[in-house]
Amino acid sequence: MQTVRHSEHTLKTALISKNPELVKQYEQLDPREQRLLNEAFRPGSDLFGPITLHSPSDWIISHPEAPQDFEEFFSDLHRKSPSSGKQTIYIQCIGQILTFLKKKKPEDAFCVVGITMIDLYPRDSWNFVFGQASLTEGVGIFSFARYGTDFHSSHFKGKVKKLERKSSSDYSVFDDYYLPEATSVLLLRSCKTLTHEIGHIFGLRHCQWLACLMQGSNHLEEADRRPLDLCPICLRKLQSAVGFRLRDRCKALVKWIDAESTDTPRVTPKHSREELVTLPKPVEAFKEWKEWITRCLAVLQK
């Protein structure tokens, strides 16, 4: 195993910047928020750790790219931010990809994110990806395909006898299609991929600073190692793009985990789009994450 470690000075600069205006902006944050974000470069922090690499197929090794610090994020002229007229995130179940989403994007949408059971391959030279996004168009997609335990034993070759054009409201093409069991681990993995892709749409590139939700992942084992939350550097980027108080965000996340869900619908293979089956929200796999959020709240409430 290889550990990617950055110096305290490097992490502090990546978070705060050397630009006087951005330093001033940081100093205007609530002192309690600064205390949490400063954990990025505090030696021995038990909230944020370094990135670990376990094989040559891990993302940073196989897809080298330049790191993005806060100053580079803030100065990106192509980065999109929500506005009063475009502040809704739509999640759309589809069987096609980004061009479909671009055409179906509502006027008030900041972004549209598609969910599909189709395995995703952005180009021939890559293996599969869990998701992909277009920063300029405000659209993204992620796939459940490899999250089920029986993915590799499922076969669909020969199911489609001839190509047919279907309307966008016709979901019959998905009848009897592979649907994984809605487990707690499936929900955790899906939340990671969905929020990772939406992070890209907000302008966050792959993180190479600390263990972080915005790390790239090249295979399921690496995706499972990736935490569900953002490192302080990426968290400052998102806070700058959206505007929120860190304490309010943490409280909202705990509330979501604790809330009893009785309205989680699922379309089953034998049901039409209108016949929805309600499932409980399985959150057993979120226990460790909730404990981590509670520790962050303790820092924010000192």
Residues known to be catalytic: 197
Spatial separation of the C-alpha atoms in residues 201 and 112, rounded to whole Å: 10
Give the Cβ contact number of residue 107 at 10 Å: 7
Residue (of 294, 210, 204, 212) closest to 254 by Cα position? 294
**Locate tokens 């030696």: which residue?**
43
CB neighbour class for 284 (10 Å; exposed up to 12, middle 13-18, buried from 19):
exposed
Spatial separation of the C-alpha atoms in residues 233 and 230, rounded to whole Å: 8
C-alpha distance from residue 178 to each of 62, 143, 167 (Å)? 30, 12, 21
Which residue type does 33 have? E
Residue 209 has φ and ψ, to the nearest 5°, of: -100, -55
Spatial separation of the C-alpha atoms in residues 119 and 25, rounded to whole Å: 42
Which residue type does 266 have? R
283-288-290 Cα angle (round to 5): 70
Give the Cβ contact number of residue 300 at 10 Å: 19
C-alpha distance from residue 205 to each of 79, 149, 181, 234, 296 (Å)? 11, 30, 31, 9, 24
192 DSSP 8-state letter: H
Spatial separation of the C-alpha atoms in residues 199 and 193, rounded to whole Å: 10
Spatial separation of the C-alpha atoms in residues 214 and 235, rounded to whole Å: 10
